[in-house]
Amino acid sequence: TGATAAAMPHNANKAAEYGEEGARCPYTGAQSTPPDPSVGASSLSESEANEKTGGPAAPGVNALDGRLGRVRADGSGQVLTTNQGVPVADNQHSLKAGLRGPALLKDFILREKITHFDHERIPERIVHARGSAAHGFFECYRPLTDLTAASLFAEKGKRTPVFVRFSTVAGERGSKDTARDVRGFAVKFYTDEGNWDLVGNNMPVFFIQDAMKFPDLVHAVKPEPHHGMPQAASAHDTFWDFVSLMPESTHMLLWVMSDRAIPRSYRMMQGFGVHTFRFVNASGESRLVKFHWTPILGTHSQVWDEAVKVSGADPDFHRRDLWEAIDAGKGPEWELGVQIFTEEEAEGFSFDVLDATKIVPEELVPIVPIGRMVLDRNPDNFFAETEQVAFCTAHVVPGVDFTNDPLLAGRIHSYVDTQISRLGGPNFHELPINAPIAPVHNNQRDGMHRQTIHRGRVAYEPNSLAGGCPFQAGMDGFVPFPEPIAGDELRGHPEKFAEHYNQATLFYNSQTDWEKQHIVHAFSFELSKVTVPAIRQRMVASLRNVSDELAQQVADQLGMALPEPLPRAIAQPPKPEVEVSPTLSLTARPGDGGVATRKVAILVAEGVDEGAVSAVADALMQAGAVVRLVGQRIGPVQTEGGGMLDADASLDNHPSTLFDGAVVPGGEAAVARLQADGRALEFLRDAYRHGKTLLGLGRGGQLFGSAGIAPDEADEGLLMGGGAPAKSAAAFIKALAKHRHPERETMPPMV
Ligand code: HDE
């Protein structure tokens, strides 16, 4: 029909009105066969029992994948339609009364398109607005039935699909990835007994002890309300005003001012459940539990100057990193570990395990690995999956229960509540990304955007008309742990909550020297942005209760005298069990020692030594690293021997902050060109200053001298190779696996 229509005037009776041939005919798009009604059809029907009954997926099979497949749509080879499935003839022009006349109200196609567009945005999350997510699975190492009835921990090798979203906290949806901030680490387990959301962070403690203070904390850290600044940053008056008046936040401040707050990658950070939870076994016995995710790649971070520069060079740095690694088949993996202890043990601790500003040191209760999580599939659609996923701390399964942590109590309410306005009603659990794999049957009905078509006339229980169905599961269902409660109704907190500094000191004293320096620098930087001197004073006074060494250095950096320590809430703080915990240093978890997915730049210019480039590139790629040839511009580069290389990145579009290491090959002419290019010198200076692994081959070494970088035998990450490039490459790979060489840092930087 398309061909015939194209040859004919749109309205044979009014041919003259349509002007020249071609202007008048709406049927200009390619015509194709009508859409296949089965593609993209959404079915949440209960009758598809095989899809909804769950059960352990076969190893290697993600049960969620099949379920989401039923709602995927793909327009390839399909005709364009309205939302009612009516084929659209012309997607270029609105309907007008005459070519130069007014658009017509009856153009339902235009109106539908624009109306839908007008409503494309939903409210962003009030916190954790910016995030990235991926699919994967959790695999249980061994049955944990003695500890918990949770079905995902029932058998060795059992796999449960997961969807995991990482996020920053303070920034808006379009803000940068590399802000100094806490990172969210939210895991949705689609277990065969319902969804369990473990909504954690990359730091094991929190700023506040009680949910009552959460809106205040968030209002303080978000952009200041009068002018909406600063974006995705805590370095401003209102944040420091609030936290300096809340000594309970001090321990968390130490974490946030450490390099934990500027991770190299989502793939290289730990995750923590933060609160103390409960495991409950089938006999109703309960143990207290803390959850820990440990990345196989180790814990690695950026340095501040680098994070600042990356935020300009690639605001999507972490999103891209996660996406590319999964795309390349090298998805990240974490081990899940638990600290298990009894209530009696907890009572003996010098701190309260219901206080989310405290950790349970590993020296006190070791971490036992119980399973692993692999992220192996990127979402198909950012909005449908990453944006619409709704994590709720209230989503627990039989075998997992809460404690009376007063921060957790507020969260159990908040997350469900926020989804109702964010996702537009109480049926957000039916969105494909949120729908459990386990069957859903109850008498909840109706509400905005209801998908399920409930059959029958019974929507109540007890009933006889439906044979009593759906019926209560009894002891097979979720039975809350019968914790005895005694006490008067009152507002207040337990005694141990009043000790605010012991673990901040523990954290500071457990860091390496360079980590301590980064903490000093972070406090100094953030407080230097505060405009009211009294806030700075108060914060430094508080730091005196953590460490005089820390407080003195920060005071020096701020050009102020050391104030008197802030009065403590309790005069005689309890003596902590553990005073140094080396596991709190980033260096405690160096990773698997490999360089897979690490990014390396090889600087090339006309006249580069091609043999050296290929020897190093081959060795790096064999080790799994990602190699980019960075030229003065992208495109072909003639080599010393007359060959051709293709520079796939340039000094402009790929500054050194986007790489983990850099190599400068020889080739006299190439080195001379780079010596005359300020961008190449800046590239090396930044890479050096940020502790990256560097290799100069042959004359390539001279470029370092031009950049002001002196050879240093003691620096393991600064290699000058005079011999065979392959041998130098091996040394480079070994140094790259160490991630960074912070020992070379000086304050102020000398390069
Ligand atoms: Fe959240 N938090 N939070 N939070 N949180 C939200 O829920 C809240 C807290 C965390 O990727 C919101 O769906 C309260 C601690 C993550 O979608 C909201 C309190 C921890 C995410 C909310 C806390 C977290 C959120 C905003 C104190 C670490 C992102 C949108 C009582 C254990 C989840 C949403 C995702 C998101 C409330 C404190 C982690 C408003 C009231 C402690 C990872 O419901």
Return the exposure string of 702-713: e unless at least 16 CB atoms fall within 10 Å of the residue's CB, then b. bbbebbebeeee
Q: Which residues have C-beta atoms less than 6 Å from ligand 1?
A: 125-128, 131, 165, 167, 184, 186, 199-201, 206, 211, 214, 274, 356, 391, 407, 410-411, 414-415, 418
Q: Which two tokens stand for residue 414?
A: 């908040």
Out of 209, 221, 393, 411, mutate this one to test ligand 1's pocket (max ligand atoms within 8 Å of CB): namely: 411
Atom 44 in ligand 1: which residue has the minimum CA distance? 415
This complex has an ipTM of 0.98
DSSP 274: -
Give distance in angstroms: CA of 469 to centre of ligand 1: 35
% of the chain beyond a pLDDT of 70: 92
For range 184-190, the mean pLDDT: 98
- Nearest-atom number in ligand 1 for the CA of 274 is 32
Q: Tens digit of pLDDT for each residue in 151-175?
A: 999 999 999 999 999 999 999 999 9
Give distance in angstroms: CA of 392 to centre of ligand 1: 8
Paired with 497 in beta bridges are none
* 213: amino acid identity, one letter: K
Give distance in angstroms: CA of 127 to centre of ligand 1: 7
Q: Which two tokens stand for residue 662?
A: 């850099």
Predicted local distance difference test score (pLDDT) of residue 102: 97
Decide: 692 and 736 in contact? Cβ < 8 Å: no
Query: Shortest CA distance to 167 belongs to which of 279, 62, 263, 97?
Result: 263
Q: Rounded to whole angstroms, how far apart are CA atoms 201 and 269?
A: 10
- Nearest-atom number in ligand 1 for the CA of 131 is 11
Atom 14 in ligand 1: which residue has the minimum CA distance? 411
Q: Rounded to whole angstroms, how far apart are CA atoms 724 and 701?
A: 14
For range 309-325, the mean pLDDT: 98
Decide: 76 and 30 in contact? Cβ < 8 Å: no
For range 16-36, the mean pLDDT: 43
% of the chain beyond a pLDDT of 90: 90
Out of 198, 413, 415, mutate this one to test ligand 1's pocket (max ligand atoms within 8 Å of CB): namely: 415
On the question of pLDDT at 288 being above 90, the answer is: yes
For the chain, give the number of residues: 751
Secondary structure element (H or E) that encloses residue 696, with its range: strand 693-697
Q: Rounded to whole angstroms, how far apart are CA atoms 385 and 616?
A: 40
Could you tell me the pLDDT band of residue 508, with boundaries at 50, 70 and 90? very high
Q: Tens digit of pLDDT for each residue in 458-478?
A: 999 999 999 999 999 999 999
* 59 or 81, greater pLDDT: 81
- Nearest-atom number in ligand 1 for the CA of 166 is 11
Predicted local distance difference test score (pLDDT) of residue 6: 44
Among this protein's residues, is 404 annotated catalytic? no
Atom 32 in ligand 1: which residue has the minimum CA distance? 200
Atom 8 in ligand 1: which residue has the minimum CA distance? 411
Predicted local distance difference test score (pLDDT) of residue 13: 59
Give distance in angstroms: CA of 379 to centre of ligand 1: 22
For range 402-426, the mean pLDDT: 98
- Nearest-atom number in ligand 1 for the CA of 275 is 32
Predicted local distance difference test score (pLDDT) of residue 620: 98
Give distance in angstroms: CA of 13 to centre of ligand 1: 64
Give distance in angstroms: CA of 387 to centre of ligand 1: 14
Decide: 192 and 184 in contact? Cβ < 8 Å: no
Catalytic residue among 128, 275, 429, 521: 128
On the question of pLDDT at 437 being above 50, the answer is: yes
Atom 38 in ligand 1: which residue has the minimum CA distance? 411
Decide: 172 and 130 in contact? Cβ < 8 Å: yes
Predicted local distance difference test score (pLDDT) of residue 354: 98
Atom 31 in ligand 1: which residue has the minimum CA distance? 211
Give distance in angstroms: CA of 65 to centre of ligand 1: 26
Out of 126, 127, 269, 419, mutate this one to test ligand 1's pocket (max ligand atoms within 8 Å of CB): namely: 127
- Nearest-atom number in ligand 1 for the CA of 419 is 13
Q: Which two tokens stand for residue 349?
A: 């601790």
For range 514-536, the mean pLDDT: 98
Could you tell me the pLDDT band of residue 50, with boundaries at 50, 70 and 90? very low
* 43 or 145, greater pLDDT: 145
Write out the DSSP string of 11-70: SGGGGGGG-STTTS-STTSPP-PPP-TTTT-----TT-HHHHS--PPPTT--HHHHHHHT
CB atoms within 10 A of CB 617: 21
Catalytic residue among 62, 201, 378, 427: 201
Mean per-residue pLDDT over the chain, rounded = 93
For range 628-644, the mean pLDDT: 98
Give distance in angstroms: CA of 390 to centre of ligand 1: 11
Q: Tens digit of pLDDT for each residue in 70-114?
A: 899 999 999 999 999 999 999 999 999 999 999 999 999 999 999
Residues 6+ apart with CB under 8 A from 170: 127, 179, 181, 221, 222, 232, 233, 234
Predicted local distance difference test score (pLDDT) of residue 40: 39
Among this protein's residues, is 395 annotated catalytic? no
On the question of pLDDT at 688 being above 60, the answer is: yes
| Residue matched to tokens 């999350």 | 125
Predicted local distance difference test score (pLDDT) of residue 70: 85
Beta strands 626-631 and 599-603: pairing type?
parallel
| Residue matched to tokens 């599939």 | 377
Number of H helices, E strands in the chain: 20, 18
